[in-house]
Structure 1
Amino acid sequence: MQAFLISWMNLFRYTDSVVHNGLLTLFYGWSIFYFTRLFIDLGKDLKLKRVSLKRRISQLISVFIINVLLGSFLLALLQPSFFKKWQFNGWLFNDIMLGIIYGVIVVTFIFMLRSLFKKNKAGVKKSIQIYTMVFIVEFLVATFVMAVFAGAFSRIVFEQDAQTIVTKNKAGNTISINKIRQRIPNGRSSSGISTSMTYFLISAVDLKTGETTWTKHSKWQEYLIGSTKEGLFTVDSKKERVYFIDETTGKISLTEQEWIEKIPELKDNLSYQQTDYAIIDELSIYFYGLDGRYYKVDLKTKEVVQNPDYEKIVDQHNGFMKEHRNSLDTQKELAALEKLYPEFFDLEIEPSMNEQDMAFVVYKAKRNSKEKILAKVSLKKAQIFWRTVLEQEADDEEPVMLFKENNAVYAVTGRKQYKIDEQNGRLLYLYDYQYNERQK
C-alpha cells in the first residue's frame, strides 16, 4: 500500500518526460482556474444567500476528488511504462491476451464504421456517442483482464532459470542465451500462501548491440544443457525427448530421431534427465546412458566412446555452480575481500573473472538492502576502481550471474542484463527481459 501511495504521489511531480510535464502543467493550470471560478461563485452565492456554505463545501470536495482521480488516470495513462504494457513482448500469455483484446477492438471498430454509413446525420451523432462509451468500457474491461490474468499492472517477478550460455551463431555474432522465469501474482490460497502463474521464455541477445536475436516459449522441464556444433542441446524431461535448437533462429534444427539416424548407437540409451549430460566443448557431449554406463559422443566423427572415467566429467559439470561458489579457494577469496572491504554486505564473487590483483564483486551497501552493486576492486588493497548499481527484484535473493566478453562485463539479475565497460564501469546498454528489448 505504501509503495502504491508513493508511486501515485510521484505522478504529480515534474520529471524529464516532456509529455508528462506538459500534461501536469495543464492539470495544475486547469485546477487553479476551475477552483478560482468556484471560489468566486461561492463568494457571490454567499453574498446573495443563494446556497448554503455546507452545500458549497461538499461540492468543492467532490470536484477536488474528481479532478485528482481524472488527473491521476491521465498522468498514468501517458507514462511510457503504461504503453509498454500494451505491446507484444514475446511472453506467451501476454501476447495471447493482447491479441484477443485488440481483435475485439478491431471488430467493434468495423461494426461502428458499418453503422455510421447507414445512419443519417442525427443517427451518426448518437452512434458515435454509443460507440465511444463501448470503447471506454472495452478499455476498462481490458485493463482489468490484463491486470488480473497477465499482470500488466502488478509487480511481476523475473528470475533466471538456468546458467547463461554464451556462444556464436552461424552469422558469427556472439550471443547470450537465457531461460527466464516469469511469475505473475494472482492471489492467495485458502491457507494464506501467495500463489502465482509461471511462464518461461528463452531469449537470445546479441551481446554487441543488445538487440533481441530471437525468443522461444519454454516450459519448466525444458533444460538448456549447452552449445554444440549442432546447436543448443536441450532436454525435455516432461515430453521425454532431446533435440538441438538453432542458435541463429531459435527453432529446432535437429530432432532426437534425426540425431539417432546419424548415430544409431544412441538408440534406446538416451536419458531424459538433464543431470545425465555434460557439455565441455562444442564437439562433444558426455552422458550417462540408460544402460548405466558413461559415454562421449563426438559430434564431428559421429563416434560414441564408452569410458567409466566420463562419470567424473558429468558429475563435476552438474555440480559446478554449487562447488564453484562454495569451493575452498572461493571461500578464501571471500574472506580476504570481506577483510579488505568490511562495508560490503552479502558479498558475491565470480572467481573465474578475477585478473591478477583485481576482482569483480557484487555486494549490498546496507544490510537487508534491496539494491545490489557491481564493483571492480583490488585484491591487494582497499581500492574500488568503479561501481554500478544493479536493479533486482525485491524478493529475488538469487546470485547475480556474471560473465565477461570482449572487454565488457555482463550482469544478469533476472529481469535485466547489463553490459558494462570493463575499464571504467560505464553502462553500455541495459536489456530488459520483460519487454525483450534494449532499454538504454
Structure 2
Amino acid sequence: MASWGKVAASLRNALRSSGSVTRFAPRRAVGPGVLVSVVGAGVLWCHQRHANSRTRPFAVYAQDQKEAAAPQMSARKVRFTKFASVVYDDEPYMTPRDFLFSVMLENVDRKLQKRVLINKEMNKMLVAASKARAGKDLFRSLGDNGLISYTEYLFLLTILTKPRTGFHIAFKMLDVDGNEQVDQKEFLKLKNIIGKTKLRVAKDSTESPAEDAQDVETTLQAYFFGRKGDNKLQYQEFRKFMEDLQAEVQEMEFLQFSKGMDTMRREDFAEWLLHYTSEEDNEVYWENMRKRIPAGESITFDEFRAFCLFTNNLEDFSISLKMVTEASRPVGMAQFKRAVRIATGNDLSDNVLDTVFKLFDTDGDNCLSHKEFLGVMNDRVLRGLKVPAQNGLSGYWKCVKRETLKGAQEALGDTRGPI
C-alpha cells in the first residue's frame, strides 16, 4: 500500500510542478493527459488499497461476488443481541441494567440463558416503569425490571453521543403546535428519526433497518407516557431524562475506571480514553503514558464530566479548531483550550489537558495532530460501534473518485473540482 501511495504522490507532485497546468491552462479545463494521469493515480491507489484489505488480487473479487454472502449483522445489532437478557414474543430485549453494561463493556459473560417473559411479568415491568422517578440513577434503580427494544437502544446510544441542542431541534420538529410537548405517537416517530441518523445501519450490511414490534409497549413508553399511554411528554422532562442518562453513564464509567474511588488516576483516565479504540498507534500512546504521565496524580469526577461534555461536541470542536489554527497544522495547548471553550462554553482543567497532550503528542513537540486525535475520540464516543468503511465496487469507485479529485485539486492549486 505504501508503494502505491508513493506512486500516487509522485504523479500529484509531477502535476503540481507542471507549468503548463498551473500557469497556462484555464482553471475550468483539464488536458486529456493530465486528467488521465490523475485518474490513473486514483485508480492505482484505490486498487492496491482494496487488494490489501482482502489479502488477494482484485481480479478475484468479481468471482467472489457470485458466491452468496452469509447475512451479517451490524456491530450495533451484534452488541444488542449479545447483551440482551430478555425475550418477549420471540424478540430479544435489553433491560436497563443490560443497556448500562453494553456501553461500559465490550463483552458479557452470560452464565444463564435469556429469560423468556410471560404477559404477567411484562405488565409488572410496565407498571414499575410508569411509577419510576426521574434521577441520575433511573436505569440502576430499574435494574432488570424493564424492556428496551433495539430501536430504543439506538435512540439511547444517540443520547449519549450527541450535544443537547440537536435534540431540542428534533423535538421541535414534531411539536407541531409549539406547546413544548409530544404525545406517545409523536415520540415513536422521534425515536425512530434519531435512532436512524448517525447510527443507521451500514449501507453494505444485510441487516434491515431497525423496526420494533408495533404492539409491544416498552419501559421508555410507560415511563414517558404512563401505563395507558395518554400522558404528554414535556420538553423539559425529556431534556432532564437526557441529562440524567448521560450523567448516570458518566458516573458508572468513572467508578469503573477509578476502581470505585472518588478520584481517577491519570493513567486510569488514559486507559478510559483508549478504551474501544483500535488505532494502529495505540502502542505508541501506551508508551507515552508509561514514560510521560507521573504516577500518583489524580483527576476528579468534575474534571472527567467536563471532558465527557467536550467529547459530545466533537463536531463543533473540529469547526472551532479551524477558526483558531491553520488547516492541517498541529495544535498547541492554548489553541486547543480556546477551541474547547468556543465549542462547549466551558474549560478543561490543566490536569486533563496535560494528560491528553502527553498521551497523544507522538513526536514530543507539545502539539497534537487534531485529525488523529479526533479519530481516536470518535472511536471512544461511539464505544467501538463505528459504521465500517464501505466495501465492494461501490466503495471502490467512491475511493477512486475521492483520490482523483484530490489529485486534480492539488494539480490545479484550487479547491474546486477539476472540470
Q: TM-score, normalised by structure 1?
A: 0.25
Q: Which has the higher contact order (CA 8 A, sep 6+)?
A: 2
Decide which structure has greater helix share: 2
Larger CA Rg, structure 1 vs 2: 1
